[in-house]
Amino acid sequence: MAIKSRNKINPTFSTASMSDLVFLLLIFFMLTSTLVSPNAIKLLLPSSNSKTMAKQSLTVYIDSNYNYFVEENQVNQEFLVETIGNKLAGQQDASVVLRADQSVPVQYIVTLIDAVNQVNSLTGTMHKVILATKPAK
């Protein structure tokens, strides 16, 4: 009498779980890569030995062509007060971090400081401007 087993071993390999794993890894890397936010505006920051750490509420860039960028959106100089005021609405003592190229004349930096001071006088707030630098060699 020949005994036959009911459970036959199937020698094929199922790739369904492998494709699920690949898609999960793809989604993971897509999500983690969007969390990294490199500076989109290329600047050569001035050097400094001082270390000041502050919570960044708003970042303003001035590039080598003397263009103002508020949170990477280009803003005309005449609309700085309005744009900064809208971005800092509802905050009492925010820090505006200025990332200016090292070739930018001081007048453009003073223009931004004046805009923040004008927002302070209009809204009764205590916002401050911090100049971002790179470590000295």
Tell me, rounded to whole angstroms, the distance of Cα 71 from its chain centroid: 7
Residue 16 confidence (pLDDT) above 90: no
pLDDT band at 32 (very low <50, low <70, confident <90, very high): confident
Residue bearing the bigger pLDDT, 114 or 37: 114
Residue 4 confidence (pLDDT) above 80: no
The structure tokens listed for 59 are: 């970042």
- Sequential DSSP letters for 107-133: HHHHHHHHHHHHHHHHHT---EEEE--
> Domains in the chain, ordered, with CATH?
47-135 (3.30.420)
Is 56 within 8 Å of 95 (Cβ atoms)? yes
Model pLDDT, residue 93? 85
* Span 94-126, pLDDT tens digits: 889 898 888 899 899 999 999 999 999 999 998
Average pLDDT, whole number, for the chain?
83
In single-letter form, the type of residue at position 131 comes to L
Residue bearing the bigger pLDDT, 25 or 17: 25
Region class of 74: left (phi > 0), else alpha (psi between -120 and 50), else beta: beta
pTM for this prediction: 0.62
Model pLDDT, residue 31? 83
In single-letter form, the type of residue at position 9 comes to I
- Tell me how long the chain is: 137
* Span 124-133, pLDDT tens digits: 998 988 888 7
Model pLDDT, residue 14? 74
Tell me, rounded to whole angstroms, the distance of Cα 55 from its chain centroid: 13
* Span 40-72, pLDDT tens digits: 566 666 666 666 666 668 899 999 899 999 988
Grouping H, G, I as helix, E, B as strand and the rest as coil, residue 85 is helix
Question: What is the Cα–Cα distance from 24 to 36, expressed in whole angstroms?
Answer: 19
